[in-house]
């Protein structure tokens, strides 16, 4: 091994040991490098051990070393060796500082540019807050908590029902690209009517009981209930309010109204109707209505027509990871990810765009964050037990027991990847054919199809690790796919040097700005690249690059 490579490995060893044993993560804004007098050309007398550690930490841009927390003597020797080598290799630390600064600058540029474009879908201000303002078409689907109907505002020219396009497959499957465009033009809106069995008939009681459904609502979605300016959600419902994201559904109107007799109601859900509409019904006469964009199909319907090619499948998985990362960053866990709760639309090139919907089972409490106390079995752990992460499914209630949901949704994405890439979800099925998230062994997971990229296969296996500490975060997993899909020039077979990484990021930034300038931001891939640059974090990017390089059998990083 060459001397320069040995010094680089020593520098990295020192950083890892210091972060893990002494001071935690580095400063996000490292201090300026120490003056040149700290590192004179002529070697001075050997400084004492603690001073050596402090000098090395300063050169690495890390916090000062707390002497009271030094590891035992054998580990201190290894730590001092690593940090001593770092003193002899200041260029590597300087490269890392420059790369981290470049990531911060790029994020600053793209963060304000990554906001989804506002689309009122034909609704004007102060309109759309009562059911009478909509023309409601046929049923789109129903779930365990409500039914969804296609809708349009009467003021819209396309409100003529005779012009409504019919689904070419009888209404159950996905539309093709042309049919999807026609359906969106005919009925651009979808209205979800919640089934009210236990919330009472008062508006405030309904909104409080069904507050989880309002987590992805826009800022003025509730204006019709509380006047021109909606009341602060923290004071009213105690739930978080999600910021908009391209891969998260947006509720543009929410209001309470009397339950109407909609098409198919007496056949599809007669038991939840109020007694005024069905004498044997158990529902209340008033309920919550949510207005959102009408999407062509669900992920389940899309996949029923066949699986996408491996590259498109990787792009679809990436979108789910981006959506989950957005939730985790805001302290929200969906807890019911499945193909029926993911909507699909198509960009001008026909690439499927995925949107996470149905937040009725989410954890979005302002006080709890992603850690849910679990004192008894009466606590709701979420929906869809088949795709419940092992740490959630195996939790046993008791005093002081807390369930951590920070990596639960990312595990569900790993299971959904099997549906997207082809062989079917291994956690669905009857009898012994299906795996149980409470007891499966990782070696029991079936292989993914051969055409899938090796790094995609490895990533899915990591996402389905039983131990959440061994799973990558949603952000790191998304970065792995970003680098795999578009970073081949930066993640080469011969390593991943930092200057090459920075050059690649700058090229991606220039291309994204040029695409935006030319009006090409509607494509799924363009949107993903812009989102990647807007959420760029140096440490997460390095972790993703290290994973890729380890899977490819290359070294990360190779100091230059």
Reply yes or no on whether 105 is catalytic.
no
Q: Are 210 and 194 in contact (CB under 8 A)?
A: yes
Catalytic residue among 325, 336, 358, 409: 336
Which secondary structure element, helix H or strand E, spans residue 421, and what is its range?
helix 408-421
Please give, one letter per residue, the 3-state secondary structure of 375-399. Answer: CCCCCCCCCCHHHCCHHHHCCCCCC
**Alpha carbons within 13 A on the beta-carbon side of 97:** 16
Identify the residue whose tokens are 């700290």.
38
Strand partners, 135: 152
| Burial class for 66, CB neighbours closer than 10 Å (0-12, 13-18, 19+) | exposed
Q: What is the H or E stretch that residue 137 is in?
A: strand 135-142
Are 403 and 431 a contacting pair, CB within 8 Å?
no
> Helices (DSSP H) in 464-517: which residue ranges?
474-486, 498-517
Residues near 192 by beta carbon (within 8 Å), at least 6 away in sequence: 146, 147, 148, 149, 213, 289, 290, 292
Which residues, at least 6 apart from 360, have a Cβ–Cβ distance to it below 8 Å? Answer: 145, 210, 212, 213, 336, 383
Query: Which of 534, 403, 551, 529 has its CA nearest to residue 472?
Result: 551
CA dihedral (515, 520, 524, 529) in degrees, to 10, reads 10
Cα 295 versus chain centre, distance: 20
The answer for residues whose C-beta is within 8 angstroms of residue 229's C-beta and 6 or more apart is 223
Q: DSSP strand E in 306-401: where?
A: 342-346, 352-356, 371-373
CB–CB of 237/221 below 8 Å?
no
Place of tokens 């339950």: 259
Residue 93 in contact with residue 32, Cβ under 8 Å?
no
Query: 514: Cβ–Cβ under 8 A, 6 or more apart, which residues?
Result: none
Helix axes 524-534, 90-110, angle to 10 degrees: 120
Residue 103 has phi, psi (to 5 degrees) of -65, -40
Residue 501 Cα distances to 1, 381, 497, 512, 540, angstroms = 24, 41, 6, 16, 13
Query: What are the catalytic residues?
Result: 336
């Amino acid at each position: 091994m060459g001397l320069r490579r040995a010094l680089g490995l020593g520098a990295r060893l020192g950083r890892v040991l210091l972060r893990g044993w002494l001071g935690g993560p580095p400063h996000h804004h490292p201090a300026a490098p120490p003056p040149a007098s700290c590192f004179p050309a002529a070697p001075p007398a050997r400084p004492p051990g603690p001073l050596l550690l402090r000098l090395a930490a300063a050169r690495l841009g890390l916090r000062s070393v707390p002497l009271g927390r030094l590891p035992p003597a054998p580990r201190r020797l290894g730590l001092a060796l690593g940090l001593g080598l770092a003193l002899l290799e200041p260029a590597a630390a300087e490269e890392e500082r420059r790369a981290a600064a470049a990531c911060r600058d790029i994020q600053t540029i793209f963060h304000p540019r990554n906001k989804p474009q506002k689309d009122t879908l034909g609704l004007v201000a102060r309109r759309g807050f009562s059911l009478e303002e909509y023309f409601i078409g046929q049923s789109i689907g129903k779930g365990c908590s409500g039914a969804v109907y296609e809708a349009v505002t009467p003021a819209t020219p396309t409100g003529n029902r005779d012009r409504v396009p019919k689904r070419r497959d009888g209404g159950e499957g996905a539309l093709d690209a042309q049919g999807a465009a026609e359906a969106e033009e005919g009925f651009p809106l979808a209205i979800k009517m919640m089934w009210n069995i236990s919330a009472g008939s008062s508006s405030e009681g309904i909104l409080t009981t069904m507050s989880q459904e309002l987590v992805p609502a826009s800022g003025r979605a509730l204006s019709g209930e509380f006047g021109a300016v909606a009341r602060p959600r923290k004071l009213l419902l105690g739930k978080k309010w999600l910021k908009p994201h391209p891969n998260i559904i947006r509720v543009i109107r929410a209001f309470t109204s009397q339950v109407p007799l909609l098409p198919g109601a007496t056949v599809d859900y007669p038991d939840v109707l109020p007694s005024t509409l069905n004498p044997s019904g158990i529902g209340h006469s008033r309920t919550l209505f949510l207005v959102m964009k009408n999407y062509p199909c669900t992920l389940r319907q899309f996949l029923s027509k066949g699986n996408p090619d491996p590259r498109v499948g990787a792009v679809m998985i990436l979108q789910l990871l981006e959506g989950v990362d957005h939730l985790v960053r805001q302290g929200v866990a969906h807890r019911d990810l499945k193909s029926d709760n993911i909507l699909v639309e198509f960009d001008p090139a026909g690439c499927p765009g995925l949107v996470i919907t149905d937040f009725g089972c989410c954890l979005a409490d302002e006080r709890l964050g992603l850690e849910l106390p679990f004192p008894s079995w009466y606590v709701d752990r979420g929906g869809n037990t088949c795709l419940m992460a092992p740490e959630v499914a195996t939790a046993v209630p008791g005093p002081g027991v807390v369930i951590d949901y920070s990596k639960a949704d990312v595990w569900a994405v790993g299971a959904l990847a099997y549906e997207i890439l082809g062989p079917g979800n291994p956690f669905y099925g009857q009898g012994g054919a299906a795996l149980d998230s409470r007891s499966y062994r990782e070696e029991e997971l079936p292989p993914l199809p051969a055409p899938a990229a090796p790094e995609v296969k490895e990533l899915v296996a990591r996402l389905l690790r039983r131990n959440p500490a061994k799973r990558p975060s949603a952000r790191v997993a998304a970065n792995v796919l970003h680098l795999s899909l578009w970073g081949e020039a930066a993640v080469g077979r011969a390593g991943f040097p930092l200057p090459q990484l920075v050059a690649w990021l700058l090229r991606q930034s220039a291309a994204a700005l040029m695409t935006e300038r030319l009006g090409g931001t509607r494509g799924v891939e363009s949107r993903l690249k812009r989102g990647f640059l807007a959420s760029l974090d140096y440490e997460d990017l390095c972790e993703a690059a290290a994973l890729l390089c380890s899977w490819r059998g290359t070294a990360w990083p190779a100091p230059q």
